[in-house]
Amino acid sequence: MKRVVTILLMTVLLLSAHVAAQAPATQLKAEVTWWSFPNFLTVDGIPGKHEQSIIKAFNAKYPNIKVNIEMIDFASGPEKIVTAIQGGTAPDVLFDAPGRIIDYGKNGVLANLNDMFTAEFIKDVNNKNVIDACKVGSNFYMYPISTAPFLMAFNKDMLQKHGLLHMLPTEGDRTWTTSQYTALLKALKAKNERGAIVFCISQGGDQGTRAFMANLFNSSITDAAVTKYTINDSNGVKGLQYVVDAIKDGLLLNGSASDGTGAIDEFCAQRVSHTILFSPGLQAVKQHMTNFEPIMAPYPSENGTPALEYLIDGFCVLNNGDANRIKAAKLLIDFICNDPVWGPKNVVATNTFPVRSSFGNLYKGDGTMTFLAGLTKYYAPYYNTINGFAAMRTAWFPALQAAFSGEKTAKKALDDFVKAANESIKR
């Protein structure tokens, strides 16, 4: 009799464990913390209000998962994340970009998201550059939601006032050549308008200066396989020399005392005719300080075919050693990115474009956003995940400063930069 009771008891325990293991995700109990940079547009001017509405909708489906949201900023946020990781107080979910997230993945502090990269998702994204930007080796560490190209922008009202708008391509993909760009710079100078600031006081916005110079004569920052830096080839040197000469000729401005934010703010204040770094997200963020219509265009290139750098927005899960929290964090990310209602809604809240092709055109009737959505075919290999990326950035802006001041020739400046950047890959 005792043996029968024991068997029955063991059976009940096994069944209970099985039922628990098979419990629907909607019954999962956990508490997670989500840190978010201001990638979503504010609602009523209140940072985090959109994120709170996401959590409310998420809890309607997952009532037992408590989500604590904390907004961080781009100035102090990166250091705060590192400090939290080192102190064992990291959040469970982070909304950021590959440049930092992949670095965390390489340092072994993230949970892999391999189970979220289903065949259906990869097929729907249908962009190898975007998929590859989310992984290290065979492990995925960032789940992407949206993307957008970095571009230039001009003051459309200013161009119209001077009768110069016809010199800027405004139809189709708006691609153009360096010769066309030079003609417009000279025309603007003749009207006493100032050119763009080529900023280089710091790393801030440095992706814009790299993309601008690489495109001018169809060079590239790295090789196609993203294994080494190549911007010191003959076309790269021509690009930097073009900028040095344009500054001397008063067509562009020496930005050795400006960063990307300062240069964009000068554009928004209408003190310069254009900026070499802009995006739909920046347009939305700067809308309150822009009393004119910006018009965006790809970077000019010698052959008229640009190679664009781009932003990828996405999420990662910090591995805090709690399987339940990791599971809950993934459910939150899945809801934000893939819920039939909130997925598209959240993409629009970034003012960028969905990585999922099945979301279609979320900006029907908006000519500018439709134009921008069509530029993904110009996306260049994504090098922000290369080893030593952060160290490379510390060598870029001093190279520009040295060339602009005449301390180094364009070739010497780029040779020294490439040497330092390639050494950073090996560390």
Q: pLDDT tens digits, the chain, 427 residues: what are they?
A: 445 444 444 444 444 444 444 457 888 999 999 999 888 888 887 888 999 999 999 999 999 999 999 999 877 888 899 999 999 999 999 999 888 899 899 999 999 999 999 999 999 999 888 898 899 989 999 999 999 999 999 999 999 999 999 999 999 999 999 999 999 999 999 999 999 999 999 988 899 999 999 999 999 999 998 999 999 999 999 999 999 999 999 999 999 999 998 999 999 999 999 999 998 888 877 888 899 999 999 999 999 999 999 989 999 999 999 999 999 999 999 999 999 999 999 999 998 999 999 999 899 888 888 889 889 889 888 898 888 888 899 999 999 999 999 999 999 999 999 999 999 998 7
The one-letter amino acid at 149: P
Backbone phi and psi for residue 358, each to the nearest 5 degrees, phi listed first? -65, -15
Structure confidence at residue 4 (pLDDT): 47
Structure confidence at residue 373 (pLDDT): 84
What the block records as the tokens of 172 is 């189709």
For β-strands 30-36 and 143-149, DSSP reports them as unpaired
Residues in contact with 255: Cβ distance below 8 Å, sequence separation at least 6, in sequence order = 197, 198, 199, 200, 201, 263
Nearest of 266, 261, 320, 251 to residue 285 by alpha carbon: 261
What the block records as the tokens of 306 is 């640009």
Nearest of 363, 310, 196 to residue 263 by alpha carbon: 196
| Per-residue burial over 398-407, b = 16 or more CB atoms within 10 Å of its CB, e = otherwise | bbbbbbbeee
Contact present, 280 and 370 (Cβ < 8 Å): no
pTM for the full model? 0.80
Quick check: helix, strand or coil at residue 8? Answer: helix
**Inter-CA distances, 271 with 161, 266, 279, 299, 345, Å:** 15, 5, 19, 21, 35
Nearest of 47, 93, 26, 179 to residue 169 by alpha carbon: 179
- How far apart CA 143 and CA 315 sit, in angstroms, is 5
Angle between helices 389-405 and 98-106 (to 10 degrees): 130
Structure confidence at residue 85 (pLDDT): 94
**Inter-CA distances, 59 with 20, 52, 397, Å:** 21, 11, 46
Contact present, 197 and 255 (Cβ < 8 Å): yes
Q: How many CB atoms within 10 Å of residue 414?
A: 27
For β-strands 65-71 and 30-36, DSSP reports them as parallel
For β-strands 93-96 and 30-36, DSSP reports them as parallel
- How far apart CA 7 and CA 353 sit, in angstroms, is 58
Q: How many CB atoms within 10 Å of residue 123?
A: 10
For β-strands 310-317 and 253-255, DSSP reports them as unpaired
Helix (H) or strand (E) holding 55: helix 49-61
Residues in contact with 280: Cβ distance below 8 Å, sequence separation at least 6, in sequence order = 148, 296, 351, 352, 368, 369, 372
- How far apart CA 287 and CA 4 sit, in angstroms, is 75
Contact present, 317 and 330 (Cβ < 8 Å): yes
Structure confidence at residue 23 (pLDDT): 56
- How far apart CA 168 and CA 176 sit, in angstroms, is 8
Q: How many CB atoms within 10 Å of residue 295?
A: 21
CA 147, 149, 153, 156 torsion-angle sign: negative
Backbone phi and psi for residue 144, each to the nearest 5 degrees, phi listed first? -80, 150
For β-strands 93-96 and 253-255, DSSP reports them as unpaired
